Amino acid sequence: MISLDDLYSLIETTFDFLLVVDDNEKIHYVSPLMQNACSTRDPDVTGRHLKDLLDKSSIRSFRNAMKKASSGARGVLAVFSTGTMDSIPIPMKVAFTNSVTGGFYLIFGKQADSLRKLDGWEKEERVKELSCLYSVAEWIEASTTIKDFFTKLPPFLAQGMRYPDEATVYSIYQGIEYGQEPEGSAFISTKLFINGELKGEIRVGYLNNGKEMLPEEWKMMKQIGRMLSLALERKELSENIALKQGEEEDFSRRLAELEKEITTRESELESQKQKLSTVDSYLNRVNETMDESSRRFETMFKAIPDKVLMIDLNWDVIMSNRDDIESGDKCFRACFNRESPCVDCRLTKIIRKKTPVTVTIRDEERYLEVHALPVFNKDEEVEGIMEFYRDVTLEKTYEQQIQQADKLASLGQLVSGIGHEINNPNQFIRGNIKIVKQALDDMLPIVDDYQKQHPDLKIARLKYAFFREHIMTLVDDMGHGSERIKGIVEGLRGFARKDDGLLVDNVDINTLICATQRLVQNEVHKHGEMQLELSENMAIFPGNSQKIEQVLVNLIVNASQAIPDDAKGLITVSSSMDKETVVVEIEDNGKGMDEKTQRQIFDPFFTTKRSKGGTGLGLAITYRIVEEHGGSISVTSKPGEGTKFTIRIPVTGSRENKS
């Protein structure tokens, strides 16, 4: 078995035309002369199909020959025609061979030899004429249509002329022109009559008008004209009959096909109609179910107590269960009234990590727990998020309250222990101060006499006259200080003492105000001074001393914290009687409050000092305690001028705590 390249080279050394195709009529090689003879517009037809290179007559001839060659026949011939006006059918040999890549057909041949000879000119011309007549007769029989015949007639006629290479052939048949009309009047022609009617004409001339037409050529044209008239008559009749028969056959076949197609189509349509009816019924049920499911989903979605938002990658709200948030709003604007995404944006985190995110954020006075879930598309890429907002302000405040209560409980235990530790040495101080004072009372007269004799006497590096003037004042101050320590410790221990909550004490409001002053003196001193304006003959009322003291502490501490850092404040606490009602007023010259804040200050967990650790419970507890005592508490305030709280507790009518 030889390679294809070797085989191509071998064949081209002997033959002009070479064509190689495979079993599927795919072109693998075509010689330059054959490709030029085919006049294809594509400069490279390798890899294309046989039908892209040859005309229909050549393809039919080649296929028959290829079939014979593949079955083992030898010397198989095929006819090659380029399909152009000057084309001359060329005999080609067809062979079948195998290569390393499979089976191939080798189709090869040589150019047609000229019939001219160097001598016997007349004989040569006659041979040309006879050959021309034979070729034309053969071609009229072989051509498939009249149009095909006239289109390819020129080369057959030209070979019978003296100068075939310079001959031009022009035909006109039934008004249709073929070929190139000879220039001038130097041409020979023949008329074509069909059933006695002139149907056309054939003219043959030379490109050079100087060439003379031979009598033999005139004679040949007459013979060709008579022969063609008869042949065209038969061919035209045959074509008409074939056309009519073909049309009838086509019509009958098409009619049968249409009837069959209609029957099949009717059956299919009936089947489709039944299927569509079933599908339509199913879709109606599905739509009803989907509508019902959609309504249920919307109801459930709207009923979720927490705020829920579905957000796309551009921070646009797609869906929400809140009527005040519309689709298309930016999430940061709709939820937080911002103009840009949040610093800790959940969408940004989820796009990066593709996992749920839960965070607690602060929005003004609220704490929000945000649980964000990624929403994936079919490619498992994040296309948005679903956010659930839950207000956890109460939980946070309760947590802070618990922590504060724990601190206060610990403080209560510490206060009790510290009070005991302070009271022990303070008892020594109080007792010793009395002894020291008595000793000084006895000693000073003696020292006075001694000083008279020694005028330069100094005691504690102080001149005696100055020492004598102030020593007793110092001792009295020490005694007062010791008593104050005792009072503060007792006040702390009493404030931290566990309270049963019963309103069983006989409350002396002035005594409680003085005790409270001692407790809060250090806190108040940071911001200003505290002034007491207490009325005499204040009535005693039943209640809970510890709770009333807690009310006073809360209000005075709040008053001190309302004073600006750059101002020296004054807190005035006054008591008075209004008929059978005890009235206590606590007034400051601090920042004051607007009307909105005044309406909210007694609400649980409302505070303007959350950043400083405020829980928003102090005034709420104060309000409840005063209410338990059957009293009332009110507030008047102006921004920049100060605030005044007024407590009114009736001497009788306090509600006893039954718990």
Distance between CA atoms of residues 94 and 91, nearest Å: 10
Distance between CA atoms of residues 615 and 617, nearest Å: 5
Range scoring the smallest mean pLDDT among 365-379, 403-417, 608-622: 403-417
**Residue 236 to residues 44, 76, 108, 140: CA-CA distances in angstroms?**
40, 33, 36, 11
Size of the chain in residues: 659
Q: Which residue has the higher pLDDT, 81 or 438?
A: 438
pLDDT at res. 539: 92
Tell me the per-residue pLDDT of 80-119, one tens digit each, with 9 for 90 and over. 876 554 556 777 888 887 655 667 788 887 765 433 333 4
Contacts (Cβ under 8 Å, ≥6 apart) of 489: 418, 419, 422, 423, 426
The encoded tokens of residue 84 equal: 């152009």
Distance between CA atoms of residues 548 and 551, nearest Å: 5
pLDDT at res. 1: 35
pTM > 0.75: yes or no: no
First vs last Cα of the chain: how many Å apart? Answer: 117
Cβ burial 628-638 (10 Å sphere, 16+ → b, else e): bbbbebebebe
* Closest listed residue to residue 349, CA positions, set 378, 371, 367, 319: 371
Q: What's the average model confidence in pLDDT over 555-584? A: 89
- The sign of the torsion formed by the CA atoms of 407, 408, 409, 410 equals positive
Q: What is the residue type of 374?
A: P
Tell me the per-residue pLDDT of 292-348, one tens digit each, with 9 for 90 and over. 776 776 677 667 778 888 888 888 988 888 877 888 888 888 888 888 888 888 888
Fold of 501-659: Heat Shock Protein 90 (3.30.565)
Range scoring the smallest mean pLDDT among 44-48, 111-115, 138-142, 525-529: 111-115
The ranges assigned to domains in the chain are 4-109, 121-256, 307-391, 393-498, 501-659
SS3 label, residue 600: helix
Helix (H) or strand (E) holding 144: none
The encoded tokens of residue 40 equal: 């294809």
The Cβ of residue 123 has, within 10 Å, a number of other Cβ atoms equal to 10
Superfamily of domain 4-109: PAS domain (3.30.450.20)
The Cβ of residue 291 has, within 10 Å, a number of other Cβ atoms equal to 10
Distance between CA atoms of residues 276 and 294, nearest Å: 25
Which single residue is written with the structure tokens 């004490």? 505
pLDDT at res. 400: 64
- Please check the confidence at residue 657 and state whether its pLDDT lies above 50: no
Backbone angles phi, psi at 109, to 5 degrees: -175, 175
SS3 label, residue 401: helix
Fold of 307-391: Beta-Lactamase (3.30.450)
Residue 3 pLDDT level (bands cut at 50, 70, 90)? very low
Which single residue is written with the structure tokens 């996992």? 355
pLDDT at res. 297: 66
Q: Which residue has the higher pLDDT, 227 or 617?
A: 227
The encoded tokens of residue 500 equal: 């049963």
pLDDT at res. 409: 59
Which single residue is written with the structure tokens 């911002």? 338
* Closest listed residue to residue 526, CA positions, set 557, 550, 553: 557
Distance between CA atoms of residues 523 and 517, nearest Å: 10
Contacts (Cβ under 8 Å, ≥6 apart) of 314: none
Q: What is the residue type of 281?
A: S
Does 4-109 match 121-256 in CATH topology? Answer: yes
Question: Is 121-256 CATH 3.30.450.40?
Answer: yes
Give the DSSP per-residue string, 553-580. HHHHHHHHHTS-TTS-EEEEEEEEEETT
- Please check the confidence at residue 580 and state whether its pLDDT lies above 70: yes
* Integer Rg of the chain from CA: 63
The Cβ of residue 271 has, within 10 Å, a number of other Cβ atoms equal to 10
Distance between CA atoms of residues 7 and 99, nearest Å: 10
Backbone angles phi, psi at 541, to 5 degrees: -130, 150
* Closest listed residue to residue 8, CA positions, set 85, 95, 75: 95
